[in-house]
Chain A
């Protein structure tokens, strides 16, 4: 016989066993401890609707063991209990419950303010439903997409019939059920009928059936995500049928959570496996289904201590049973398990000794997905027990056939249960009727408010058990009002792993330039730059820096956003888009541009270059490369301009050739003129470099003579190799981002995103020269004109320090905090620290001398510097 490990001991497995049934056979009665009070919890629903049987299985907590098949060698343990679930010292919390009322942490741990941070870890430790093993790497789960005509959620008679009818009519169908089809139904005629239909469904060529497939949400589309063992199935369907059925109504009375209290289906399923729920049981029911459960229990050898049922049903019971016609369960007695049931009837209260209480007292539609669907503007067809709880099999079949053809019955609103007065309303979160009373008295006067305050319906069952009781509670106190309405249902309707939600999206999506592999081969250390991987350094960044300042260097700048714009309105469009002038830009010239939003705030920068009759070539920062496209198109459409926009970011590579000897090197590889008169600073020119056709832009971000060579992406390697080879004798060396950060900082050039903030106007950045307010219109102009009359409260300034404080260092003037640094490096060429940072206007004006204090605890006196640190006259740049 096979077995699995349960807390160090083997538990035998019989064919068809779930983990919970195998444990029951092995005599395990306490399956978990409750969330808050650590009360013992045992088998209850048997259908995956309650939290009681949640355990850790093979390292995974919150596994519903009543619907999880037992397999050999699996490792099962109870997730809660200190030191064990059987003997939990923390169960003493129940006797302190007066000190721990609903919302106690909102009231009792406020003062002193240090109290809550100290208490929180303990509370988190004491509460909960198990621990996630943080050392287990998440699984590489994948997703699959499906586009059937019809998706059916729920594999009972109604759902199966709908699927088969639709498929026979030629529709493609995806059907899912969270269990194996039929397994949740106790043995009998109904189960046989379901299994016959299931056999047809499994072999139907038009139907994809996901058994043990958990549909945990309904989104617009409709889109239904289904978690299966193989993958996350994303089903985008034309029509949706929900046949999620109904669960047995939760029993709420004093002691209702004791091990030994069962819902009827759970007890009947166990009896169907030949496992009696106890030796002596009290059974309460009010339906035909409950009557069947009673028969099953008797057949399984359970001694029936008493039956509580409507008077007319007690007349149909076998002779010899003790009955309480028209009675009701009032309480369960016992400490760690049921010892007796207290029954109220016409003759008063009676206490009946028993070790099991089985209740089958109404059905609750599993309506969570239905409510989600409606919130997502999806109108699914609801059929079977979901629409009309307690439906006969023939009616469910009829529902299924009708739904397949597009019609469904009107929903029957089930009667709310009797208002709970004692016992646990919410098993997941340990919320009792008394807790709801207290919360109501404190002013939480609706289902939604009670939910948020007490967390009722917010546990793993997501209200499957307690939602109707909560509504009943509110309805009794505010009858006929909106306050007792259903709460909002949100995904996930069932517990799912985070790794399932992230299925198919956990891979790192890296954008690579055409030189990526070459960089790696050269020892490049890569870092993220937006979606791109770029070289941070190849070796010593100081050496790379010196190559730029003293000799010649190259950098892969293929990640820049690159666009072509042309058309009759291209000039008018760019003139209106950018804050600088475009119309007067001569052919083969470029200009620095700021990108402003409507608020006048800088969100990107780049260049605009005139190609003459061919239009304009635009560049943007790497981070904004792709987002810019929609920005351009939005404005073009808004203004109705007749233009064409081509995003060339992926098609073109770009290499920045820079340094005092850059022109020399460029001249070696091209027969085209590289004379500064032909190609001055700010100029552009088509050239053939090492046989590669390039658009060459004279730029200046690093503060040296620079040529950006824009070329077809597939030519990148050829061009790169040629530059390095031809520049060997010049001491060429490629540089990465770390060197670049220092190079541009010495010139006082900003990096948008690092040195700017969400409300950085050109004026605050000291870039007024890039904005022409005398233009009649550009994006952000209206806002800037209004801001002109307002003195800014802070500005970006350049600072000189003897050394280099860390970026983020706070700036002080005396004791007053006056700003912080956004960029900071030590300049080898200048021999002092250079930095950019924000400073606030003080009562004494703008700070001009500050002290930077960084995380090292050191202080750095510094002064404001106006203009660039390096090559202040721009001689090198314009060389």
Chain B
């Protein structure tokens, strides 16, 4: 079984040097390290402005906080077959631990997966968001996928 929910998420990209971001990452439970000099803050879309302001304050002049919310199409995947669909779409291995953040090609486009207990969130660039859902429905047709109404993305530990 596969349950798909369009996730209303915010993505704030924080760009700064490694040490600054190391310090920032510790303050957020819903942070994902994209690169040594890039950290993502992820949360429900309603919190985007607040997150952006907070990130800019914390980075000060030494970094750049950018709202990239509109740049990503995000789907939350739940159900027993959630890992199976990722295995069909993504070359990178499913990690053993949770939460986990994995980057790599998802159905041919650069994307990211946030794994949590019992669910995961797929991120692909918004211009190919239609492609991701098309491919999930095509590749996972035998997994009886169902699509739910959009819902805010609440990462485990988010909301503080």
Q: Which residues of A contact B (CB under 8 A)?
A: 140, 142-147, 234, 236, 504-505, 507, 509-514, 532, 564, 566-567, 615, 642, 644-646, 648-652, 712-715
Stretch among B63-71, B74-82, B113-121, B149-157 lining the A interface: B63-71
Q: What CA separation (Å) do A713 and B90 show in the bound complex?
A: 26
A236 engages B91 (CB within 8 Å):
yes
Q: What CA separation (Å) do A840 and B9 show in the bound complex?
A: 56
Which one of B63, B70, B88, B135 contacts A714 once the chains associate, using CB atoms below 8 Å? Answer: B70
Q: What CA separation (Å) do A512 and B126 show in the bound complex?
A: 8
Q: What CA separation (Å) do A509 and B111 show in the bound complex?
A: 14
A564: chain B residues at CB < 8 Å are 64, 66
Q: What CA separation (Å) do A642 and B17 show in the bound complex?
A: 8
B94 engages A147 (CB within 8 Å):
yes
Interface flags for B12-54 (1: CB within 8 Å of A; 0: not) read: 0101110000000000000000000100000000000000000
B71 engages A713 (CB within 8 Å):
yes
B64 engages A651 (CB within 8 Å):
no
A514 to chain B, nearest CB (A): 7
Which one of B15, B67, B126 contacts A644 once the chains associate, using CB atoms below 8 Å? Answer: B15
A532: chain B residues at CB < 8 Å are 127
Q: What CA separation (Å) do A146 and B92 show in the bound complex?
A: 9
B138: chain A residues at CB < 8 Å are 140, 142, 507
Q: What CA separation (Å) do A646 and B134 show in the bound complex?
A: 28
Given A532-B127, A567-B64, A713-B71, output 4 extra A-B contacts at Cβ < 8 Å.
Answer: A145-B90, A505-B108, A510-B131, A713-B126
Q: Which residue of A lies closest to B109 (CB)?
A: A509
Q: What CA separation (Å) do A652 and B71 show in the bound complex?
A: 7
Known: A509-B108, A509-B109, A648-B66. A146 touches B71 (CB 8 A): no
Q: Which residue of A lies closest to B16 (CB)?
A: A644
**Can you sample 25 A-B contacts with CB below 8 Å?**
A144-B88, A145-B88, A147-B94, A234-B91, A504-B139, A505-B108, A507-B134, A509-B109, A511-B125, A512-B130, A513-B127, A532-B127, A564-B66, A644-B15, A646-B64, A646-B68, A648-B66, A650-B125, A650-B126, A650-B127, A651-B67, A651-B71, A652-B70, A712-B67, A713-B126
Size band of the interface chain B makes with A: 20 to 34
A234: chain B residues at CB < 8 Å are 91
Q: What CA separation (Å) do A649 and B15 show in the bound complex?
A: 16
A69 to chain B, nearest CB (A): 23
A651: chain B residues at CB < 8 Å are 66-71, 126
B86 to chain A, nearest CB (A): 9
Q: Which residue of B lies closest to A649 (CB)?
A: B71
A146 to chain B, nearest CB (A): 7
Known: A145-B90, A644-B37. A512 touches B128 (CB 8 A): yes
Q: What CA separation (Å) do A505 and B139 show in the bound complex?
A: 12
Q: What CA separation (Å) do A126 and B73 show in the bound complex?
A: 54
Which one of B37, B63, B70, B88 contacts A142 once the chains associate, using CB atoms below 8 Å? Answer: B88
Q: What CA separation (Å) do A145 and B13 show in the bound complex?
A: 30
A373 to chain B, nearest CB (A): 19
B99 to chain A, nearest CB (A): 19
B127 engages A511 (CB within 8 Å):
yes
B17: chain A residues at CB < 8 Å are 642
Q: What CA separation (Å) do A532 and B134 show in the bound complex?
A: 17
Q: What CA separation (Å) do A147 and B94 show in the bound complex?
A: 8
Q: Which residue of A lies closest to B134 (CB)?
A: A507
A713 engages B70 (CB within 8 Å):
yes
B64 engages A566 (CB within 8 Å):
yes
A642: chain B residues at CB < 8 Å are 17
Q: What CA separation (Å) do A645 and B69 show in the bound complex?
A: 17
B126: chain A residues at CB < 8 Å are 514, 650-651, 713
Known: A650-B126, A713-B71. A145 touches B87 (CB 8 A): yes
Q: Which residue of A lies closest to B11 (CB)?
A: A651
> Which of A507, A644, A715 counts the most B-chain CB atoms under 10 A from its CB?
A644
B90: chain A residues at CB < 8 Å are 145
Q: What CA separation (Å) do A545 and B52 show in the bound complex?
A: 41
Known: A644-B64, A646-B66. A145 touches B131 (CB 8 A): no
B15: chain A residues at CB < 8 Å are 644-646
A140: chain B residues at CB < 8 Å are 138
Q: Does B93 contact A (CB under 8 A)?
A: yes
Interface flags for B93-115 (1: CB within 8 Å of A; 0: not) read: 11000000000000111000000
Q: Which residue of A lies closest to B126 (CB)?
A: A650
Q: What CA separation (Å) do A567 and B37 show in the bound complex?
A: 12
B66 engages A144 (CB within 8 Å):
no
B94: chain A residues at CB < 8 Å are 147
A712: chain B residues at CB < 8 Å are 67, 69-70
A861 to chain B, nearest CB (A): 46
A142 engages B139 (CB within 8 Å):
yes
Q: What CA separation (Å) do A642 and B126 show in the bound complex?
A: 29
A144: chain B residues at CB < 8 Å are 87-88
Q: Which residue of B lies closest to A533 (CB)?
A: B127
